Structure 1
Amino acid sequence: MNEWEAGQDDEEAGAVMRTVVRQLKLWRESAGLTQAEFGTAIGYGEELVSSVERGRRIPRPEYLDAADEVLGASGKIAALKQDVAEVRYPKKVRDVKRLEEEAVEICSYNNSVIDGLLQTEEYSRAVFNSRRPPFTEEELEQQVTARAARQEIVEGAAALPVFSFVQCESTLRRPYGGTMVMRKQLEQLLRLGGLRNVDIQVMPLGREGNAGVDGPFRVLRLKDGTTVGYNEVQLTSRAIVDPKLVQVLEIRYGIIRAQALDPEESLAFIEKMLGEP
């Protein structure tokens, strides 16, 4: 599935696309245009117009803008851009993004890679590029774009949640993308770690105790007062809502934070790494 291709097994995206397709087709037919004539008018081929109207392709914003102008819709078609803005991303990404947008506090431990909310574009691309079997070029771009969209919550939201990240030292030393990409990534950690709503801690490899040896996980405290966990493993990701299991993750994360360097020590640790040859 490339960035603008509709997933056939995504019910939510399918429902949005059916509404968009219905509107586009009604406006085109009301104007008395065939798919070929409409495609010529907006600068796209008949095959693409057909794919959009069959729900197989998600129309890009410029497609909807051109359709709005040609069909004289006075902004009614262009307004559909908001409806399709996120369905081009995989459902898993949309689900995570919604959870993050509902959170007042996001706690993350990772001993595999730098947390996705902290990644530079170059680092994200290198991580996704290392996936085996590999993504296609279109899938790779989709993943990088989706990750960048999630990152807006760290600095771009009106009411910023509080973030706590604990990164195993190994994630700071694994050179995804090479030396310069990692250097830029470490500089990004220093910048984000200086924000008032962001704490970044490092779990040194020399620590004998590490309550996070079972792997990465997240704890999200939501606006409605509930707390959920989130876990990603090979080929599977899931939200954890069972109160007993969430309680285990909360306890575990508290211990991890206590075992790691404090935020001030952690930023000094990262600065020292930047000075290493």
Structure 2
Amino acid sequence: MVREPEGTAEVGTPGVDAVPGASGELGSGILRVFGRQLKRFRLRAGLDRAEFGGRTGYSTATIAAYEQGRRVPPSRFIDAADELLDAGGVLQEMKDEVARAQYPAFFRDAARLEAEAVELWVYGTHAVPGLLQTGEYMRAVFEMWRPLLNEETVQQRVAARLARQDVFARKPAPLVSFVIDESVLRRPLGGRSVMRGQLEQLLLVGEFRNVEIQVMPLNREDNAGVDGPFTVLHGDGGDQVAYLEAQGRSTMVTERTEVRGIVSRYGIIRAQALTPRESLAFIEKSLGEL
């Protein structure tokens, strides 16, 4: 029987060890379930945490955090652990749910729908939409949050947001449309160097065949998007859901009449914005002015 090293009791300090976005809880349900299963398979294999960590490339403290549901294990760890512990796919089957636990609680449902959507429409008014952000821009945004996020949470949220961008590599590729308010492009979050990299990213992604980026100019006298940002997610079966987010709270709009109104609004916003070609030219000009 494996005896656990001393000093690995299940303790944690909210705000430091807590799962990001879990409102101070020491782990979401799926993380606790995954952690218990991981520990069960590790003990069955006759490995203590130090031995297991050595074989997977993680510290004893990190293994303890995974088993206690206090940290979100990356997919590569889950794959390695499942193979090393001969778990028969049990750990890997939880990989998608575990991955979603890295998102703030209010965004997890939207993250699942986003990963499955065949079409996405995004209207951004405060910052560059997350799917288009560079890692440096993400970090700048998260470091501006108040109350302050601890460094581990910032790192995990950056990693989670970067992982969402795999949507562009999906096959078949979803159709993705963005309309970004000009004020977002004029706001150098993180400094000029960060913003320069961000504008270059927009130009790069804007050339993807399945992506259209449009800019809503500040000089427009008509703007159907004055109510704020939103996202429309289109499912494979034709279902449409709208996602609204503000001040750490979110709303999933599913009522058909209300969703239809938001869909119509996005169509008007697109018509009022610059065309995709004009928008890329505008972004390129803004890059030259930095």
TM-score normalised by structure 2 residue count: 0.80
1:40 aligns with 2:50: yes
CA distance in 1, matches of 2:131, 2:181: 16
What secondary structure does 1:239 align onto?
strand
Q: What aligned pairs does 1:254-273 form with structure 2 within 5 A after superposition?
A: 254-273=267-286
2:116 corresponds to which residue?
102
Matched, 1:92 2:106: yes
Gaps of 5+ in 1: none
State the AA in 1 paired with 2:161.
R
Quick check: 1:68–1:78 contact (8 Å CA) kept in 2?
no
Task: State the partner residue of 2:254.
Answer: 241
Overall identity of the aligned pairs, in %: 45
Per the alignment, do residues 264 and 134 of structure 1 end up closer, same or farther by CA in structure 2, a change over 3 Å counting?
A: same
Cross-structure match for 1:197: 210
Q: Deviations over 1:30-65 (max 9, x none)?
A: 4566xxxx12323444x6665554444555654884
Q: In 2 relative to 1, CA 21–190 (structure 1 residues): closer, same or farther, beyond 3 Å?
A: same
Q: How far, CA to CA, are the matches of 1:240 and 1:209 in structure 2?
A: 25
Q: Could you tell me how far apart the structure 2 residues matched to 1:106 and 1:3 are?
A: 34
CA displacement at 1:116 relative to structure 2: 0.7
* Aligned AA (2:287): L
Answer yes or no: is the 8 Å Cα contact 2:78–2:95 preserved in 1: no
Q: CA RMSD in A?
A: 3.1
SS in 2 for 1:202: strand
- Say if 1:206 and 1:54 are closer, same or farther in 2 by CA, change over 3 A: closer
* Closer/same/farther in 2, CA of residues 39 and 223 from structure 1, 3 Å limit: same
| C-alpha contact 1:120 1:184 (8 A) present in aligned 2 | yes
Contact 1:175 1:182 in 2 (8 A): yes
1:119-176 deviation line (CA, Å, top 9, x unaligned) = 111111111111111111111112111110111102x111111111000100001000
Take 2:224 and 2:129, find their aligned partners in 1: how far apart are those partners?
A: 18
Distance 1:108 1:50, change over 3 A: closer
Partner residue, 1:183? 196
CA contact (8 A) 1:25 1:53 kept: no
* Aligned equivalents of 2:263, 2:63: Cα separation in 1: 50
SS at match of 2:118: strand
Cα distance in 1, alignment partners of residues 234 and 197 from structure 2: 30
Query: Which structure 2 segments of 5+ residues have no match?
Result: 1-14
Trace 1:22-171 onto structure 2 (pairs within 5 A).
22=37, 24-25=39-40, 27-28=42-43, 30-31=44-45, 38-42=48-52, 43=54, 44-45=59-60, 52-59=66-73, 61-62=76-77, 65=80, 69=84, 73=86, 79=92, 82=95, 84-154=98-168, 156-171=169-184
CA separation of 1:80/1:17 partners in 2, compared to 1, >3 Å: closer, same or farther?
farther
CA distance in structure 2 between the partners assigned to 1:189 and 1:118 by the alignment: 7
- Given candidates 222, 231, 236, the residue that maps to 1:223 is 236
**How far apart, in 1, do the equivalents of 2:155 and 2:254 lie?**
32
State the SS of the aligned residue for 1:170.
helix
What is aligned with 2:12? Answer: none
In structure 1, C-alpha distance between the alignment counterparts of 2:147 and 2:23, rounded to whole Å: 21
CA distance in 1, matches of 2:264, 2:249: 23
Task: Write the distance in 1 (CA, Å) between the matches of 2:134 and 2:81.
Answer: 33
Distance 2:180 2:235 in 1: 22
Q: Describe the shift of the 1:63–1:104 C-alpha distance in structure 2 as closer, same or farther (beyond 3 A).
A: closer
Distance 1:25 1:192 in 2: 44
Give SS of 1:200's match: strand
**Aligned 8 A contact 1:64 1:81 in 2:** no
Question: Per-residue deviation at 1:210?
Answer: 0.7
Where 1:209 maps in the other structure, the secondary structure is coil
Deviations along 1:248-270, one digit per CA (max 9) or x if unpaired, are 11111111111111111111111
